Amino acid sequence: MPAEKPQVRHVRAKAQDAGQRIDNFLLKQLPGVPKSHVYRLLRSGQVRINGGRAKPERKLEEGDEIRIPPVRVAEKGEAVRPPDEVLKRLKESIVHEDAHYLVINKPAGYASHGGTGLPYGVIEAIRAWNSYEFIELAHRLDRDTSGVLLLAKTRPALLRAQRAFMHGTSDKRYFALLCGRWKGEARDVDAALVKSRLESGESYVELDEEDGKPSKSRFTPQARYKEATLCEVEIFSGRTHQIRVHSLALGHPVAGDRKYGEREVHKPLRDRGLKRMFLHSHFLELPADGEFAKLIVAAPMPDELRDFLNGLPQAAR
């Protein structure tokens, strides 16, 4: 039988949808539809809230009526269930859980969510546990970055975390091994970033003071090696690839980063056995907010990174 032709749908926002951005709401309502197509639907005015056009950042209120245009979505049978070993590994990666949040020490190589060419990510795998009525990513990590990944178990908890990230009241810290010998002590990078796309469709971020979004990072050296420097990086904003682009601007790209920095710069550390990007989110703090107490979580550096550091020759004093 031919597939049933998609029809216009009218969906009413529930209490649990209140406060959610319309773009994120649509991405859940339209599984399998590329994110770029969802934004095209919004820009063209085909998505309506209570009869009016809506920008992607528009937040829903309970009772809003959303018009969703005819779009073919993935059939239920088309959903890809993550392998059991993935589900098991992520369960073993839990470093904190309470009534409001789940925190995992995300392994490198796992995307935060599925997308083009990726049938699933961390969020899809955790939903496949079937343990939570509500579970959402509170922020994201690059696929090749390991460490603290925060997921919210309630809508109020999600909004609390998003407020902290938006207003810069959270404390997010990473360990990054940077190529080359660092001179001096801590340095700040305060530079606007703009995201663009390569011809391949891959996202790429550059410094752009005119059109970019403000971003700030602080790099503090922790250990100095002959060919690299381990820094703790505190970020005061959460832009895509922020640490990777800021470190490149300092002339010290993140070791093992295949996107930013010349291949020759990374070669000495690759030759010593570095097989991944050396970037690890090790600490996150959210301030107290209303009913929510202060949240402090940490994720130990994975063995493959710690072992690599132990094998590096120290810098001469």
Tell me which residues are annotated as active site.
142
Q: Are 120 and 82 a contacting pair, CB within 8 Å?
A: yes
Q: Are 231 and 176 a contacting pair, CB within 8 Å?
A: yes
Sign, Cα dihedral of 111, 113, 117, 119: positive
User: Phi-psi bin for 247: left (phi > 0), alpha (psi -120 to 50), beta?
Assistant: alpha
